[in-house]
Every structure is written in structure tokens, then in C-alpha cells.
Amino acid sequence: MAYVVLILSSLRGGIFLLTGLPPLTNIFFTITMVNIAFAVLPSRLFYYIKNHGELNTYLKLLIINVIFGLIWCIAEITIFGYRIGPIRIFLFYFIVPFCVLSFIRAKDSYITATIYFIAIIVSISCIIQFIISNFFPGPPIGLQIMRGPLMAIIPDFRLFEETGVMYSHVGPLYRAHGITGHYHDSGNILTMASVYCVGHTLYKKTNIFTIFLSVVILLGLLSTLSIANIFAAIIGITIISLFSYRGLFKRIFIIVVIGYALLFNSTFQSTQDQFRVTAIDVFSSLNLETSGGKMEAMLNVGSSDTSERIISMLFGHERSSGISNMGYYSEISFVIMLMEFGIVTFILLMMVLCFPIYIYFISNKKLRNEMWIPFVTVCTGILTLWHYGSLLRSTSIFLFFAFYSMVIKKYSAITINTKNNIILPN
């Protein structure tokens, strides 16, 4: 069931492409609810609670997190009126983490195969769209060709088109949305998948498939032009590469590839004219300097005063109460969650998300080496919350907890008392 959950969440756009179902919001929501049920109901929560072991600390943290999340949700609905939004947030941020208990019983080899399958589909869909939209046949014909497939998988497509998100571009290049329907969501999936795949390429026995897959995933990620996700992937891959204990040639090769990707300087031919794209052009078009529009948007703290921000920071409910607007204007997900949940609930939520980091640092050296690849992947996923928050959307959240479960599982398989019969499969 864990494998179905991963595919159904990340590749749900394929359901609409294959069946011709209209991409209505209520259908998307129904699929999401079914997916949560598939992921959480088989978690055997009470079984793990009854068998006291090293998972007990983790379960207590999850339960405390649920209690505070429920308090936030009830307060939101009671004070500001019933809406589906708070319930959806409660399910995603506070209930979905229990899916880890389901994932830790799945075989790592099957989970890895499922992740690779998802990464291939997302990458290919992004690469194809990128080529059609930019080069063959290129704009404007290429954009119109891709309009149909995107209409089939994006709810509220008209709004998506009118706001310009569909035709978002960096410099002269149009972003690829891929099967998820959004370049940030596809980029987030490929960011985690690239770190994980490159890690396996470096650490495991040399396999031409994982090398090829790493290249395809990185090309797919670059085609999204999701800069925040690309930077997170570069950081994660660099850490994986620099701190590998073997495979010097492979490490050098990966670093060279990443360096070349950052400094690419190629000439492309469009149907209109010829244009030259360099890394400098791309970064200039993004206005990444502190005085530029992109950085200003990320550092925007709104127009509310300090006292209003402190109140929202302490008690949350910023969007409904309107006390401040810092989270509304900010593009940094950490800030948005802080202002929406309040400081206590936010800290508890971050403790849940960062629990594998705690597990890693309390483990011995041998165990750290075994959990190194999923550990860095989880850290990279958390890092992507510095912008937009695709990590906690339905397309990425189960994938993130699949990597998360690998760290928990490796620790639990070594430390849980065997008499409780909770030793987990490899």
C-alpha cells in the first residue's frame, strides 16, 4: 500500500491524462483524502504504542503534535467560521506524519524502485515540456501545444493561465511544469530524488542505470527553472559528494557536472530568433541581488508593525485574524507556518519534521554511514521550505516521509528490543 500512496500522490496528474476526468478541485481533494487514508490507517499506531521501544519517543512527539494541531484547527473554525482549509491543513501537517509507521514496514528496495519510477515520469514530463515550449517548435506554437495537457491536470486552469503562472519564465526560457502541473512541485520532487539517486550512485556499487537516472533527474530539475529547489539540490548533492567515503572519481565527476550546470553557456535556436543563455543572464533575470525584485519578494515582511507581528507569532491564525500580514507577503515557508500556527505549534511541527536529524546525531558512526543518504535527502527536503513550501503539498509530502522513514527504520532495526518483535525488513 505504501508504494501505491507514493505513486498516487506524486503522479496523480497521470490519472486525469489517462482517464479524461475533468481536473475539478473536489476530485483532487477526494484523491488526497483516499491517499491519506491508505497511508495512515495501516500505520498500526496502537501496536507501536503498546510495544515500548525506541519508537516510543517518536510516537509521543507525534501525538503531542496532533493535540496542538487539533487545538489550532478547532480555534480556527470556532473563531473564524467553518472552512475546509483548516481541516485540510490539520490532516496534512499533523496527521500525515503517522504514515511513517506504514512506510517503515515497506522494503527499502521496493520504496527505492517506486521513487525512481516517480522521478523518471516527472523528469521526462518536464524535459519534454521544456523542449516543446522553448525549442521545438518553441514559442508561441510550443506553448499552445502544451496548453492542452496542462488543462487536463491543473484545477482552476483559467486562473492559473490568467495570473501568468502557466507561462512563467526565467529570462527567455519558459519553465516546465511537468506531470504535477506546477514547476515548484515538480522541482521539489526532483530535488529530493536527485540527492537520493546521486547518493546511491556514489555509495553503492557502480551502476550505469543510477548514473543515467541521476543525469535525467538533474536535467528534469533544471528544466523546471525552480531556482530555490535547484539551489537546495546543489547543496544536498555537494554535501553527499564531498563527504562520501569512497568513489573519488565519481565524486569528482558529479561535482564537475554540477559546476558545469551552474556555468552553462549554450546557444539555442528558436523559431523566432537566436538567443544566447548564460548563467549570468539567468541570475540577472531573477534579480537575485538583495536590491532585486526576487530577493525583495522573499524578504518581504509586509506592512504590519512589530507588535502586530509578535502577536501573530505568539498565537498564530494570521490570515484569518488579519492582525498582521507578514506571513501573507512572505515567500519563506518557515515564516508562513510560524505566523499561521504560532510559536509553540510551529516548534512542535519542526521537531517532527527534523526528528531524523536528532536520530542521526544520537547514532553511532556505523549507523550514521548506513542512514547517510536518506538523512541528507531529508535535510535537503526541509531546506526547500525556504521558499514556497512544495514539500508539504500533496505531491511531495508522502515522498518526503518515505525518505524520512528510511532513517527511522535503520535506527529502529538496530536499537529496538527484539523481544517486542518489531525488527523491520531491510
Query: So what's the pLDDT on residue 85?
Result: 86
Query: So what's the pLDDT on residue 258?
Result: 57
Residue 76 scores a pLDDT above 80: yes
Query: So what's the pLDDT on residue 406?
Result: 92
The predicted model gives 269-279 an average pLDDT of 39
Residue 73 scores a pLDDT above 90: yes
Q: What span, in angstroms and rounded, lies between the C-alpha atoms of 13 and 343?
A: 35
Query: So what's the pLDDT on residue 244?
Result: 57
β-pairing, 169-170 vs 173-174, is: antiparallel
CB of 174 within 8 A of CB of 143?
yes
pTM of the predicted protein model: 0.86
Identify the top-confidence range among 20-29, 45-54, 377-386: 377-386
Percent share of the chain, pLDDT over 70: 81
Q: Among 46-55, 61-70, 145-154, 402-411, which is the least confidently predicted range? A: 46-55
pLDDT tens readout for residues 324-382: 888 888 888 999 999 999 999 999 999 999 999 999 998 888 888 889 999 999 999 99
DSSP states of 17-52: HHH-----HHHHHHHHHHHHHHHHGGG-HHHHHHS-
Distances in whole angstroms, Cα of residue 410 to Cα of each of 40, 241, 352, 371, 424 = 20, 22, 17, 7, 9
Dig out the grid coordinates for 154 from the structure.
491543473
Query: So what's the pLDDT on residue 285?
Result: 42
Q: What span, in angstroms and rounded, lies between the C-alpha atoms of 327 and 301?
A: 7
Q: Which residue has the higher pLDDT, 127 or 270?
A: 127
Residue 416 scores a pLDDT above 80: no
Mean of pLDDT over the chain: 81
Query: So what's the pLDDT on residue 414?
Result: 57
Read off the pLDDT band of 249 (50, 70, 90): low
Q: Among 157-171, 215-229, 256-270, which is the least confidently predicted range? A: 256-270
CA atoms within 13 A on the CB side of 73: 19
Q: Among 34-48, 116-130, 216-230, 331-345, which is the least confidently predicted range? A: 34-48
Q: Give the max Cα distance, the chain.
A: 71
